[in-house]
């Protein structure tokens, strides 16, 4: 809100009346001395300190930038979406339990194209001999050889979290590098690295977009480096400060810098425009101080709506929302810090250069838009209401998906290429892990058979059905006779070992009544025998010992993966797509089947279950994000406009834009990743509403001194440069993200945010004006005033009026926004203070007359005064 005076002025008498204004009355000892005119004004003192100590702030920012260049490497990036699921979800509980109970060994799948089966076997044998490789699965079935391509499943000797896996993986890649090979693995951060490469390209392109927009929207060529230095400082500090959060998601790591630039560009532009306005009458230093004192509250208020939308994301149950929300809020705060602390000094450095490189304004005025808005004020609002009602119902049918299998990004990276080629030749696998209480192989075997009988299941891996030796499965119970024959051991020795096992297992009854029918699971007996041999209690023949060692290695490897201290897990391979209603129904069926045998905890984990859990959390998060974003922004707007009607109108417009935005996927049957909706709706509500605020704020201000038609024409002319600058940058940045990424979730964010921003620009320029004009009465009647204590101040001589005051003015006035009075002042000061000025050397009466003759606002005020108007609002 700008500070305007409404003065009823009698030119011959030199007296007038000042109504309902806000600000200060100052009597200053030296003309144009900002610091002395602001004696007692804390804001001006702070701003003067920032400008005068600019070299100190330069040094601080340089040191922080150097530190950030180092600390950005300390940031840990999480690539799994399931990591951010709520603790209460089945997937999260299952992941945590599996980390405690089981070992998941590193592995990779290699497809080698254009080879014979025998060539594939030779390669498999060479890989299996590589140190650190536990096994290579390869046979003549279609699962491993098809269409002239061999598929090798390689398992390493190390846990997947062990860095040794990466070393072995690199050696394996070297072995197959001479073939047309494709390596598929979850080891390492290859996906994150590829995404960072893409974002680096996008960031460079966004810089060119920003340069192009600034060339058209700035008033001088050298304003561009001022803005770029400010943007760059905020971006560098943002990247370097992420280490404070420990681990951030790959989404936050990749899109924050681009969105930070697009979301915070307004702040620097507002400050720069303020400076140019003040510099028309003040030298650079004083103009910067004055501009900064006015820009800080204005920019802070503007940023609150954006931060408010992002705060809504932090209430999401799916924790990737809080992750991205916190990172973006931090980015905006750092951008504000760059604008308030660094940019004033940068402007001082480039002040002379900016004056020398002025160019004409490339953005034309658009009076036709305001005239159109006024002429269609009774037509457009009803149509818009009808459209957003339709859009609301359409957006509710938006085809949201919760996994990435049904979305195709515009680009395909080498990881996705490998997945696609292996899938085309050998099919895709959809595996879930079923976690059950351990200790009862019989129940586990029954559950395995039940699952294998289901048409939806391809096969199941469990200790109860994995073949060990001579047709026996790992969990089959063997008597002493069977065990002795299996490993070629004397029967008497086998009886002694079984007796020791029975005693150790506290199964005394079997030991006393005879062991001939006593059966022990094969894997348990091998584990026990190996421990006894290692402890020196049992001595075996060399051949038997070798057999035992080899069997123990294989069995222990299986046990580590499938049997824990308290739980066992089985791997169920489904003949179902990763995401479908049928798949989700079968997950529920698995629970029902398992609970027939187990009363305790039963968990099902896997990508399909993760997708199912995401679907369950979406309804709650959707409601929370919508309500919180509207509520927070509503509160900010309520205190910004001091009207109950205005915030409601603005929120209806932007929420309508959101519904229209997500009606497009419904109409085009284009799948949208659910996360895209949650993130984009928050950003669109928080950031795009700034466009509406620019127009609404100017219109409210104009209505104090002109009619509705002129007010809306001037408002659109005033708002166009700001909206074009900010909106174009955000729309283009989001468009590039959507077109130049291979990640399906980020693709959706870019696509929806770009479309939403364009819709918001169009609707705020060509629909909101009609709503403001038509709702003018509602806005006025719902306005409220926050009364402030009145202070009466008097002064005479040369007095500066600055802001909102109420009282009598007798004398000659200079200015409309800021007034200088020669005469007597007797007013109530609602804000600010009154400072007396010394008489200047210049001829004040001559200047006053010339100023008033040339001032267009004076002509308006004179006309109103002649009509006897008694304006009571500003």
Measure the CA–CA gap between 264 and 683, rounded to whole angstroms: 12
Q: Is residue 617 helix, strand or coil?
A: helix
User: Rounded CA gap, 363 and 218, in Å?
Assistant: 9
Q: What pLDDT is attached to residue 35?
A: 42
Confidence (pLDDT) at 111: 95
With a cut of 70, say whether residue 534 has pLDDT above it.
yes
Angle of helix 42-52 versus helix 54-71 axis, rounded to 10: 70
Both tokens assigned to 79? 């690539």
Tokens of 49: 């300190």
Phi, psi (degrees; rounded to nearest 5) at 794: -125, 145
Gap between the Cα atoms of 252 and 199, Å rounded = 12
Distances (CA, A) of 250 to 84, 282, 323: 11, 48, 10
In this prediction, residue 27 carries a pLDDT of: 44
Q: Give the confidence band of 846 by pLDDT, cuts at 50, 70, 90.
A: very low
- Report, as an integer, the average pLDDT of 333-360: 92
Rounded mean pLDDT, 2-11: 36
Q: What is the pLDDT of residue 751?
A: 92
The span from the CA of 775 to the CA of 779, in Å, is 6
Burial zone of 131 (CB within 10 Å; 0-12 exposed, 13-18 middle, 19+ buried): exposed
pLDDT tens figures, 601-632: 899 999 999 999 999 888 888 888 888 888 88
**What's the pLDDT band for 844 if we cut at 50, 70, 90?**
very low
Mean of the per-residue pLDDT values for the chain? 83
pLDDT-derived band at 797 (thresholds 50, 70, 90) equals low
Torsion (CA) 244, 245, 251, 252 in degrees, nearest 10: -50
Tell me how far apart the alpha carbons of residues 397 and 667 are, in angstroms, rounded to a whole number. Answer: 9
Query: Distance (Å, rounded) from C-alpha 628 to C-alpha 309?
Result: 8
pLDDT confidence tier of residue 813, bands split at 50, 70 and 90:
low
CA separation for the pair 658, 625 (Å, rounded): 13
Residue 392 is given by DSSP the state H
Mean pLDDT of all residues in 117-130: 94
Q: Could you give the residue ranges of the DSSP H alpha helices within 775-815?
A: 776-781
**Residue 209, H or E segment:** helix 190-217
Residue 144 reports pLDDT greater than 90: yes
pLDDT category of residue 574 using cuts at 50, 70 and 90: very high
- What HEC string does 334-356 produce? HHHHHHHHHHHHHHHHHHHHHHH
Q: What is the mean pLDDT of residues 134-140?
A: 92
136 pLDDT higher than 90: yes
In angstroms, what is the C-alpha Rg of the chain?
A: 37
Instruction: With a cut of 80, say whether residue 791 has pLDDT above it.
Output: no
Tens-digit pLDDT profile for residues 669-705 = 999 998 888 888 888 887 778 788 888 888 888 887 8
User: For residue 362, what pLDDT is reported?
Assistant: 78
pLDDT in tens, 99-108: 999 999 999 9
> Averaged over 720-741, what is the pLDDT?
87
11 pLDDT above the threshold of 70:
no
Structure tokens that stand for 838 in this block: 């010394």
What are the backbone dihedrals phi and psi of residue 872, each rounded to the nearest 5 degrees, phi first?
Answer: -120, 5
| Residue 482 buriedness (CB in 10 A; 0-12 / 13-18 / 19+) | middle
């Amino acid at each position: 809100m700008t500070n305007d005076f409404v003065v009823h002025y009698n030119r011959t008498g030199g007296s007038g009346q000042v109504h309902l204004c806000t600000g200060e009355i100052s009597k200053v000892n030296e003309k144009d001395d900002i610091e002395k005119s602001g004696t007692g004004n804390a804001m001006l003192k702070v701003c003067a300190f920032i400008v005068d100590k600019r070299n100190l702030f330069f040094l601080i920012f340089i040191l922080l930038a150097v530190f950030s260049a180092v600390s950005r490497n300390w940031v840990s990036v999480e690539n799994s979406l399931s990591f951010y699921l709520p603790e209460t979800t089945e997937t999260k509980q299952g992941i945590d339990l599996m980390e405690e109970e089981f070992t998941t060994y590193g592995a990779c799948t290699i497809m080698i194209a254009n080879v014979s089966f025998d060539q594939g076997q030779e390669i498999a044998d060479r890989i299996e001999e590589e140190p650190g490789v536990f096994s290579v699965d390869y046979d003549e079935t279609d699962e491993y050889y098809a269409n002239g391509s061999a598929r090798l499943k390689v398992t390493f000797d190390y846990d997947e979290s062990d860095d040794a896996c990466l070393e072995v993986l690199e050696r394996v890649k070297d072995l197959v590098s001479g073939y047309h090979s494709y390596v598929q693995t979850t080891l390492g951060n290859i996906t994150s690295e590829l995404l960072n490469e893409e974002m680096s390209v996008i960031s460079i392109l966004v810089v060119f977009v920003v340069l192009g927009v600034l060339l058209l929207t700035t008033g001088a060529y050298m304003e561009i480096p001022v803005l770029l230095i400010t943007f760059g400082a905020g971006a560098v500090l943002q990247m370097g400060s992420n280490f404070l959060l420990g681990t951030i998601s790959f989404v936050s790591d990749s899109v924050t810098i681009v969105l930070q630039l697009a979301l915070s560009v307004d702040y620097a532009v507002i400050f720069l425009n303020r400076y140019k306005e003040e510099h028309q009458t003040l030298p650079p230093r004083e103009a910067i101080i004055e501009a900064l004192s006015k820009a800080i509250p204005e920019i802070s208020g503007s940023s609150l709506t954006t931060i408010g939308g992002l705060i809504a994301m932090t209430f999401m149950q799916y924790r990737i929302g809080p992750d991205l929300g916190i990172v973006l809020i931090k980015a905006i705060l750092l951008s504000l810090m760059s604008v308030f602390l660094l940019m004033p000094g940068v402007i001082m450095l480039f002040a002379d250069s900016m004056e020398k490189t002025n160019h004409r304004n490339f953005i034309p005025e658009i009076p036709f838009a305001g005239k159109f808005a006024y002429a269609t004020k009774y037509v457009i609002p009803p149509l818009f209401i009808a459209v957003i009602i339709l859009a609301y119902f359409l957006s509710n049918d938006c085809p949201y998906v919760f996994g990435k299998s049904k979305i195709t990004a515009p680009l395909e990276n080498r990881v996705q290429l490998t997945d696609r080629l292996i899938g085309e030749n050998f099919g895709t696998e959809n595996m879930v892990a079923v976690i059950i209480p351990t200790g009862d192989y019989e129940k586990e075997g029954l559950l395995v058979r039940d699952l294998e009988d289901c048409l939806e299941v391809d096969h199941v891996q469990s200790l109860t059905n994995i073949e060990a030796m001579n047709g026996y499965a790992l969990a089959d119970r063997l008597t002493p006779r069977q065990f002795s024959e299996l490993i070629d051991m004397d029967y008497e020795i086998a009886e002694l070992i079984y007796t020791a096992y029975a005693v150790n297992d506290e199964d005394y009854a079997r030991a006393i009544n005879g062991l001939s029918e006593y059966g022990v699971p094969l894997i348990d007996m091998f584990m026990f025998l190996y421990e006894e041999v290692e402890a020196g209690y049992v001595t075996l023949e060399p051949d038997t010992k070798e057999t035992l060692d080899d069997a123990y290695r294989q069995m222990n490897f299986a046990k580590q993966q499938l049997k824990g201290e308290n739980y066992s897990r089985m791997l169920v391979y489904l003949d179902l797509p990763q995401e479908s209603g049928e798949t989700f129904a079968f997950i529920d069926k698995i629970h029902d089947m398992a609970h027939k045998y187990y009363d305790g905890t039963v968990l099902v984990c896997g990508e399909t279950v993760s997708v199912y859990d995401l679907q369950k959390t979406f309804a709650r998060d959707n409601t929370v994000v919508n309500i919180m974003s509207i509520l927070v922004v509503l509160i900010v707007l309520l205190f910004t406009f001091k009207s109950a009607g205005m915030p409601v109108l603005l929120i209806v417009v932007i929420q309508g834009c959101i519904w229209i935005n997500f009606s497009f996927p419904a109409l085009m049957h284009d799948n949208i990743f659910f996360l895209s909706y949650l993130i984009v709706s928050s950003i669109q509500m928080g950031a795009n509403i700034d466009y509406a605020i620019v127009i609404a704020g100017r219109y409210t201000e104009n209505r104090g001194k002109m009619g509705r038609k002129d007010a809306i024409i001037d408002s659109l002319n005033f708002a166009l440069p700001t909206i074009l600058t900010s909106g174009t940058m955000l729309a283009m940045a989001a468009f590039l993200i959507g077109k130049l990424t291979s990640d399906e979730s980020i693709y959706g964010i870019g696509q929806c945010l770009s479309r939403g921003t364009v819709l918001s620009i169009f609707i705020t320029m060509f629909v909101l004006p009609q709503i403001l004009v038509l709702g003018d009465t509602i806005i006025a009647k719902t306005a409220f005033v926050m009364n402030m204590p009145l202070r009466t101040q008097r002064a005479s001589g040369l007095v500066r009026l600055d802001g909102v005051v109420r009282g009598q003015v007798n004398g000659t006035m200079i200015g409309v926004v800021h007034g200088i009075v020669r005469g007597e002042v007797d007013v109530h000061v609602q804000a600010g203070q009154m400072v007396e000025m010394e008489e200047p050397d210049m001829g004040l009466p001559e200047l006053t007359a010339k100023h008033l003759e040339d001032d267009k606002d004076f002509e308006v005020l004179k006309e109103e005064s002649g009509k006897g108007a008694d304006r009571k609002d500003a």
